[in-house]
Amino acid sequence: MKIYSVNDPEFKPYGRVVTGLEAAKAEILQALSTTPLPEATDYVAEEPVLQELPAMVEVSEHLFGGMPVQLGWCNGHNTKLNCLEYHRDSEFNLGTEDFILLLAKMDDITDGKLDTAKVKAFRAPAGTLVEVYATTLHYAPCHVDPAKGFRVLVALPQGTNTAKPEIKADGGDDAQLWACNKWLLANADSSEAAQGAPVRLDGINVDFEQLSEEVGVHFLEFLRELSIECHKNNLVLSVDNPVPEDFTSHYDRAEQGKVVDYVIIMGYDEHYVGSDAGSVASLPWVEQGVKDTLSEVAAQRTILAIPFYTRLWKTTDGGALTSEAIGMDQAQQTISDNGAETYWDKKTSQNYGTYEGDGATYQIWLEDSKSIAEKVKLIKKYKLAGVAEWKLGFENSGIWSVITENLS
């Protein structure tokens, strides 16, 4: 997913940057900096510290034309699109740190559902006051820097996001009404969906690996039929593929690209259990995989998946070779615990290290901020649709900002 700036022309259908009100913004930012910063995400509709500010009057008069308003906050850490919501009025946001808004338009909703491929990301610089229009779907911000998280003002007409009114559903978008002046579209995996929110954001990712040649034609027919049903139900369909090799030609990526929304390149497992020791994903190998895929599939339908893991290779004195997959933090801890020195390997565009112990030689090609940055740059270089990762839980806390910065 490309990340635009709220100052880019692409933001105009979704909202605007509000100029002026410098004294009010400074006062709000100072008070906002004293509010909590949870590890997850939390929302308070009306914060007394903000409500008592003289700036609250200016927000009411200049942003809402004198309407009663509430000043609250949405703070914490987030990288997911769990839900999208909309109100009958604009919402105003102002952050103490840079943050990212995931937005879509109401007129992209079809039969009560939203194709999440329509969602766009916009980065709002710290201290920038942003209006998100009433016709724009939005939800909790995403952080840019996990070390800083986000503290974001949420200014809305008074009563918004409070208890849901007791009404009988009578058509329209009543089914999506989740709170006062709040209509919600939830992802199936969200906590809101578990609480009964209508599931209106969804998609299917197909991952069938090591397909034999004789089942290739049946796999394609399965994708054709699945795509018809997905598109009937406004579901985004993506399919995972290994990096192109002669022995995977029966996957027929060209045909996949005609029927699914996104073809995902699994840019990892260059070396694997049973292979010689080596990198999981050297940059030249990954880039060649991108080029080969683009010879069959349009760039706007292609997503590159990158690894959050590496392999620790062990060669015993007797010559036996084994390996285990480990995440980023564990890899760094292994290097530190064993006093191994690493150096930048220009051939793989990775830091490489080796050490001796327990009658064996250990080797590791690290996936870290530097190697991930080089891989993410391929998204922009080849104008791909976005980036995916394998797998959550293997990443370190700082890698999301590396991805964000190199996608911008």
Active-site residue set: 209
* Cis-peptide, bond into residue 391, ω within 30° of zero: yes
State the Cα–Cα distance between residues 116 and 109, nearest whole angstrom: 10
Place of tokens 């910065």: 405
Largest pairwise CA distance in the chain: 81
Encoded amino acid at 22, one letter: E
Evaluate whether 136 touches 105 at the Cβ level (below 8 Å). yes
Evaluate whether 14 touches 133 at the Cβ level (below 8 Å). yes
Q: Which two tokens stand for residue 100?
A: 């990212």
State the Cα–Cα distance between residues 170 and 361, nearest whole angstrom: 70
Distances (CA, A) of 256 to 204, 226, 227, 298: 14, 12, 10, 11
Within 8 A by CB and 6+ apart from 192, the residues are 82, 83, 178, 184, 186
